[in-house]
Amino acid sequence: MLTPIKTICCLGAGYVGGPTMAMIAAKCPHLQVTVADYNPQRIAAWNSDELPVYEPGLKEIVASVIGKNLFFTTEIREAIRTADLIFVCVGTPTKSYGIGAGRAADLRYIESAARLIAEVAEGNKIIVEKSTIPVKTATAIQSILEANSMHGATFQVLSNPEFLAEGTAVEDMESPDRILIGGQSDPAGLAAVKKLSDIYAAWIPRERIITTNLWSSELSKLVANAFLAQRISSINSISALCEATGADVDEVGRAIGMDSRIGKKFLKASVGFGGSCFQKDILNLVYLCEAFHLPEVAEYWRQVVHINDWQKSRFVEKIVRTLFNTVNGKRIAVFGFAFKKDTNDTRESAAIHVCRNLLLEHAKLAIYDPRVDEEAILTDLQGAGVPQELLETHVHICTDPYQAVEGAHALATLTEWDEFRSMDFARIFDLMLKPAFVFDGRAVLPAEELKAHGFDVFSIGKGI
Ligand code: NAD
Ligand code: UDX
């Protein structure tokens, strides 16, 4: 008889750790779930009314379980000690130094989490990698745990990558396409896989919970993100051809997406994909291929990132060229800074690149995003290398979109927030300088309506 899991802890209270554990707590009232992080501000925010992560529906879920069977704490050691099963959900950013800089995953948070678990743990523990990591990381975690176990604990390491997307995290967790669990095929490994599967089976049909060996599970996560990002780069490459030929990328996307072998999702052309995962995970895949002496495979996937970078730069060039080859001193209203709608996350947002390059051309930016605050925008632009002086004199963060367009030469849409689709465009036209240019980097604005108001409109992937 397997002893069922009663207590869970999660190391890392970020965009994945917080929401996934809230969902498990809500679906499994018999489990005690503790999310531990050494960042006291983050933990305080999870324990407040202002959650550190904005996701539609998340606040309600957290409110329904917090203090009952969901707890957020900085007492990491205690959380590890009392847990039967430990999710590791710490960041795995791209390494910025040393060997593999700019491509490899930086595994220092994973390693320090494993060392801490080894130091504190007693009895039998199941360790679940939820962070996205390079294939074979489970072996490294297992060796660290075994070599450093201070209290004779035994460990089973599982891989359980997370596939939620930001902005739709709640529905993705509520009804995932699949739950993937990788583990060892010996009896202890199979028992651990069964215990984790049983947790998810509380609300997810068994046929959607799939099990594989550890390495397939680890690799599948990188490959899923690489395939998704590849679709976006593919359609974005075609967006340029559409603009050159008079075709319409949305029509092309619809036509090819109706082929059931291609499918209709992830064919929306954009100013470029962003987010904390796609670029990082592809670069990680590229690095792995290089490490396994597969340069052709590495080069193939590198192109997905290359096209994405090109798409962002091309958008800026289009703006500069259209505004009579200079944006120096011109006010450009920027609608949207998050990397996609329905999130406050700006990591790797295309808006950072576009705004940075426009600022380096000495444009004056009036930026409006319904969920991203001023501090986050300024920190991102500073991190992207915008000189402090330009930040102070050329960036104005607005809390109202109409304020942003006042006296602007151009409006650039960089995030597809729903509210942008149905604004008072007559009022916007009146507020802007003429000719009033619109650069729709998401092709979400009603172009014909805008033209009727008198705007000069460029939409990504739309020929004249
Ligand atoms: P994040 O940066 O939002 O959160 C990570 C948290 O881990 C931070 O709060 C940090 O303080 C904490 N942390 C680091 N070391 C710790 C330790 N030893 N003990 C306790 N806490 C520690 O990152 P995220 O977006 O939640 O991503 C986490 C992982 O999940 C990454 O590997 C990422 O690739 C993967 N992932 C992310 C998404 C997403 O949409 N963001 C989706 C799927 C998978
Ligand atoms: C992604 C994966 O979808 C998810 O499965 C994984 O767990 C984490 O990485 P996320 O980055 O949160 O999720 O959002 P996603 O919806 O994939 O969008 C990523 C970027 O691609 C955004 O900038 C989005 O605007 C862009 N995108 C998406 C497009 O430009 N076109 C599309 O058709 C779809």
Per the CB < 8 A criterion, the answer to whether 137 and 97 are in contact is: no
55, 166, 249: which to mutate for ligand 2, most atoms within 8 A of CB?
A: 166
Mean pLDDT of the chain: 96
The residues pairing with 440 across neighbouring beta strands, listed in sequence order, are: 413, 459
Residue of 156, 99, 94, 95 lying closest to 123 (CA atoms) = 156
Per-residue pLDDT at 2:
65
10, 11, 15, 117: which to mutate for ligand 1, most atoms within 8 A of CB?
A: 15
Length of the chain: 464
Rounded to 5 degrees, what are φ and ψ at 449?
Answer: -60, -40
Per the CB < 8 A criterion, the answer to whether 151 and 122 are in contact is: yes
- Which residue is closest in CA terms to ligand 2's atom 4? 165
* Ramachandran area for residue 372 (φ above 0: left; ψ -120 to 50: alpha; else beta): beta
For residues 315 and 9, give the distance between their C-alpha atoms in angstroms, rounded to a whole number.
44
- Which residue is closest in CA terms to ligand 1's atom 32? 131
CA of residue 276 to ligand 2 center, whole Å: 9
pTM for the model: 0.96
pLDDT digits (tens, 9 = 90+) for 419-449: 999 999 999 999 999 999 999 999 999 999 9
Residue of 97, 89, 260 lying closest to 159 (CA atoms) = 89
- C-alpha distances out from residue 265 to 226, 268, 456, Å: 15, 8, 30
Secondary structure of residue 150 in the 3-state scheme: coil
Residue of 413, 464, 408, 412 lying closest to 436 (CA atoms) = 408
Ligand 1 atom at minimal distance to the Cα of residue 105: 32
Ligand 1 atom at minimal distance to the Cα of residue 132: 32
Per the CB < 8 A criterion, the answer to whether 391 and 415 are in contact is: no
Tokens 């967790």 map to which residue?
173
Q: Which residues are catalytic?
A: 277
Per the CB < 8 A criterion, the answer to whether 242 and 249 are in contact is: yes
- Which residue is closest in CA terms to ligand 2's atom 34? 266
Per-residue pLDDT at 463:
82
The torsion of the CA quartet 395, 401, 407, 408, rounded to 10 degrees, works out to 70
Ligand 1 atom at minimal distance to the Cα of residue 116: 18
**Which ligand is closest to the CA of 134, given by its number?**
1
Per-residue pLDDT at 3:
79
pLDDT digits (tens, 9 = 90+) for 243-279: 999 999 999 999 999 999 999 999 999 999 999 999 9
pLDDT by residue for the chain (464 residues), tens only, comes to 567 899 999 999 999 999 999 999 999 999 999 999 999 999 999 999 999 999 999 999 999 999 999 999 999 999 999 999 999 999 999 999 999 999 899 999 999 999 999 999 999 999 999 999 998 899 999 999 999 988 989 999 999 999 999 999 999 999 999 999 999 999 999 999 999 999 999 999 999 999 999 999 999 999 999 999 999 999 999 999 999 999 999 999 999 999 999 999 999 999 999 999 999 999 999 999 999 999 999 999 999 999 999 999 999 999 999 999 999 999 999 999 999 999 999 999 999 999 999 999 999 999 999 999 999 999 999 999 999 999 999 999 999 999 999 999 999 999 999 999 999 999 999 999 999 999 999 999 999 999 999 999 999 999 86
For residues 123 and 130, give the distance between their C-alpha atoms in angstroms, rounded to a whole number.
22
Q: Is 337 in the pocket of ligand 2 (CB under 6 A)?
A: no
Is the alpha carbon torsion for 275, 225, 95, 316 positive or negative?
negative
Per the CB < 8 A criterion, the answer to whether 55 and 342 are in contact is: yes
CA of residue 46 to ligand 1 center, whole Å: 15
Lining ligand 1 with CB less than 6 A are 11-17, 36-39, 42, 76, 89-92, 109, 112-113, 116, 131-132, 162, 164, 166, 276-277
Residues 6+ apart with CB under 8 A from 90: 11, 12, 14, 109, 110, 113, 131
23, 35, 37, 127: which to mutate for ligand 1, most atoms within 8 A of CB?
A: 37
Q: Is 340 in the pocket of ligand 2 (CB under 6 A)?
A: yes
